[in-house]
Structure 1
């Protein structure tokens, strides 16, 4: 019988909070991705959103 993998196990990713790991696992399952791919997409989207917000505040000043 095969060994069951841990749901919070993300192999190539460091410093993952439990909430972030759970969200990545859910997103991966729904979209047919690996957890690492889902986490990478989530982090890229967050960086993009942060850049957009910081660029918006600079324009207003």
Structure 2
């Protein structure tokens, strides 16, 4: 009897933390994307969030 092949993760997913990979996989499944596409979207969103708060005008509290 042949061995079952284990699922192979895309190379970019395996290079991230397990929590980030889990979140990307969940997001991909819910939105009909590939895990790589979901991870790319998540990273772009993180970059935008970091640039909008740090480079924006000074806030008055």
Q: What is the TM-score when the length of structure 1 is the normalising length?
A: 0.75
User: Contact (CA 8 Å) 1:28, 1:34: kept in 2 or not?
Assistant: yes
Matched pairs, number: 57
Counterparts of 1:1-61 in structure 2, within 5 Å, are 3-6=5-8, 9-13=9-13, 15-56=15-56, 59-60=57-58
Unaligned runs of 5+ in 2: none
Q: Secondary structure, in 3 states, of the residue corresponding to 1:33?
A: coil
Runs of 4+ in 1 over 3 A off after TM superposition: 12-15
Cα pair distance change 1:14/1:3, threshold 3 Å = closer
Distance in 2 separating the partners of 1:15 and 1:5: 16
- The DSSP-based 3-state class of the residue aligned with 1:60 is coil
Normalised by the size of structure 2, how large is the TM-score?
Answer: 0.75
- CA RMSD, aligned part only? 2.3
Q: Which has the larger radius of gyration?
A: 2
